[in-house]
Amino acid sequence: MNEQSVMALVAEVLGSVPLVAKHMTFGHSSITYDVALPERHVIVRTHANPAVFAYTEQNINALAQLGLPVPELIASDLTMARYPFAYMIFKKIAGRDLRYELSSMTHAQMTQLATQIVAFQRKVIALPAGSGYGYVALGGHGPYQSWYQLIEDTVTRPLSVVRQGPLGEKVPDPWQKIARFETYLRHVPPTCFLDDLTIKNVLVQDGELQGIVDFDCVCYGDPLFTISLTQTGIVSDVGEHGLFYIEELCRLWNVTEQQRQIINFYSAIHTIDFLQFDFEDTGESHTGWMNRMLQALQRWLDV
Whether the predicted pLDDT of 8 surpasses 90? yes
Domain stop point among 61, 76, 91: 91
Residues 138 and 267 reside in one and the same domain: yes
Q: What is the pLDDT of residue 27?
A: 63
Task: Report the CATH number that the domain containing residue 289 is assigned in CATH.
Answer: 3.90.1200.10
How many Cβ atoms from other residues are within 10 Å of residue 282's Cβ? 11
Residues in a beta bridge with 44: 33, 89
What is the mean predicted confidence (pLDDT) over 249-275?
A: 97
Whether the predicted pLDDT of 278 surpasses 60? no
Residues 137 and 270 reside in one and the same domain: yes
> Helix 224-237 vs helix 257-275: angle between axes, to the nearest 10 degrees?
50
Residues 59 and 192 reside in one and the same domain: no
Residues 267 and 120 reside in one and the same domain: yes
3-state helix, strand, coil in the chain (%, to 5): 50, 15, 35
Whether the predicted pLDDT of 277 surpasses 80? no
What are the angstrom distances between the C-alpha of 165 and each of 160, 169, 275, 278? 9, 9, 10, 12
What is the mean predicted confidence (pLDDT) over 23-51?
A: 91
Residues 14 and 123 reside in one and the same domain: no
Whether the predicted pLDDT of 279 surpasses 60? no
Q: What residue numbers bound the domain in which 232 lies?
A: 96-302
Domain stop point among 91, 111, 142: 91
Segment 44-103, tens digit of pLDDT: 999 999 999 999 999 999 999 999 999 999 999 999 999 999 999 999 999 999 999 999
What is the mean predicted confidence (pLDDT) over 102-113?
A: 98
Whether the Cβ atoms of residue 177 and residue 189 lie closer than 8 Å to each other: no
Residues 86 and 113 reside in one and the same domain: no
Q: Looking at the 3D structure of the chain, how many domains does it have?
A: 2
- If one compares 255 and 24, the residue with the highest pLDDT of the two is 255
Residues 179 and 201 reside in one and the same domain: yes
Task: Report the CATH number that the domain containing residue 77 is assigned in CATH.
Answer: 3.30.200.20
Q: What is the pLDDT of residue 165?
A: 85
Whether the Cβ atoms of residue 10 and residue 77 lie closer than 8 Å to each other: no
For residue 276, name the pLDDT band (cuts at 50, 70, 90).
confident
Residues 112 and 87 reside in one and the same domain: no
Q: What is the pLDDT of residue 283?
A: 56
Whether the predicted pLDDT of 193 surpasses 60? yes
Domain stop point among 64, 91, 118: 91
Whether the predicted pLDDT of 28 surpasses 70? no
DSSP classification of residue 188: -
Whole-number Å distance between alpha carbons of 65 and 49:
28
Q: What is the pLDDT of residue 71?
A: 98
Segment 143-180, tens digit of pLDDT: 999 999 999 999 999 999 998 888 888 899 899 899 99
Q: What is the pLDDT of residue 284?
A: 62
What is the mean predicted confidence (pLDDT) over 182-209?
A: 98
For residue 282, name the pLDDT band (cuts at 50, 70, 90).
low
Q: What is the pLDDT of residue 167?
A: 86
